[in-house]
C-alpha cells in the first residue's frame, strides 16, 4: 500500500479527466512501456479513494511489467521502478490540487 496516510490531502481532490502514467525504462526497447491510470473519479481526500488509486496503480504495474521473459528479478525491478514513478506523480498531482483548492 502506498503510504498516503502520512500526507496531508487537502480538499476533495476530485480531479476530473486526469491521468497518471506509469512508465518503465527498459534497455531492450526503444520506447518505455506505459499505461495510464485514471483517477479523476476518486476522492483522494478519503482513505477509500487512496486505497482505490493504490489498487489501480499496482494493477497497472503488473500489466506494464508482465512476466513474459521468465526473468523474475527484471520483473521485480520493473514493478519497483513503476511504483516509484507513480508515487512521485501522485504526490505532485495531490499537491497541485491542494494548491488549486486553497487559492479559491
User: What pTM does this model have?
Assistant: 0.62
53 assigned to some structural domain? yes
Residue 20 near residue 93 (C-beta atoms within 8 A): yes
Helix ranges (DSSP H) in the chain: 47-64, 72-102
Q: Return d(Cα 74, Cα 8) in angstroms, integer.
A: 34
6 assigned to some structural domain? no
CA 96 to chain centre: 15
Q: Return d(Cα 75, Cα 36) in angstroms, integer.
A: 19
4 assigned to some structural domain? no
Residue 84 near residue 24 (C-beta atoms within 8 A): no
Query: What domain range includes position 64?
Result: 19-98
58 assigned to some structural domain? yes
Task: Give 88 or 70, the one with higher predicted confidence.
Answer: 88
Residue 104 confidence (pLDDT): 61
Per-residue pLDDT reduced to its tens digit, 7-58:
333 332 333 234 555 555 545 555 667 888 998 898 877 778 888 988 999 9
Amino acid at each position: 500500500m502506498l503510504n498516503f496516510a502520512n500526507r496531508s490531502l487537502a480538499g476533495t481532490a476530485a480531479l476530473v479527466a486526469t491521468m497518471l502514467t506509469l512508465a518503465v525504462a527498459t534497455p531492450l526497447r526503444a520506447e518505455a512501456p506505459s499505461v495510464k491510470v485514471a483517477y479523476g473519479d476518486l476522492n483522494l481526500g478519503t482513505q477509500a479513494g487512496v486505497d482505490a488509486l493504490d489498487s489501480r496503480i499496482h494493477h497497472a504495474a503488473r500489466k506494464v511489467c508482465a512476466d513474459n521473459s521468465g526473468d523474475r528479478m527484471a520483473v521485480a525491478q520493473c514493478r519497483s521502478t513503476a511504483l516509484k514513478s507513480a508515487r512521485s506523480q501522485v504526490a505532485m498531482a495531490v499537491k497541485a490540487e491542494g494548491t488549486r483548492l486553497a487559492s479559491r
